[in-house]
A and B are shown apart, each in its own frame.
Chain A
Amino acid sequence: MSESGDPMDVTNRVQLPESEGGQAEHEQGPRLAVRQSRDEPEVQREVVFDVRDVSNYYGDFRAVRNVTLPVFRNEITALIGPSGCGKTTFLRNLNRMNDLIEGARIEGELLYHGVDLYDPQVDPVEVRRRIGMVFQKPNPFPKSIYDNVAFGPRIAGFTGNMDDLVEESLHRAALWDEVKDKLKESGMALSGGQQQRLCIARAIATRPDVILMDEPCSALDPIATQRIEDLMLELKHRYSIVIVTHNMQQAARVSDRTAFFTVEVHEDSGQRTGTVVEYDKTETIFTNPSDKRTEDYVTGRFG
Chain B
Amino acid sequence: MSELNEIMNPIKENICLPEFLVYERPDTLTEQEFHYCPGCGHSTVHKLLMEVVSEMGIVGDTIGVAPVGCSVFAYHYLGVDMQQAAHGRACAVATGIKRVMPEKIVFTYQGDGDLAAIGTAETVHAANRGENLLVIFINNGIYGMTSGQMAPTSLEGMVTTTSPYGRDVLTQGYPLKISELLAHLPGVYYVTRQAVNTAGNVRKTKKALQRGLEYQKKNLGFCLVEVVSNCPSNLKMTPLESNEFVANQMIPFYPLGDIKVPEVK
- The reply to whether chain A is a binding partner of chain B is no
Interface residues of A (CB under 8 A from B): none
- Chain B residues in the interface with A (C-beta under 8 A): none
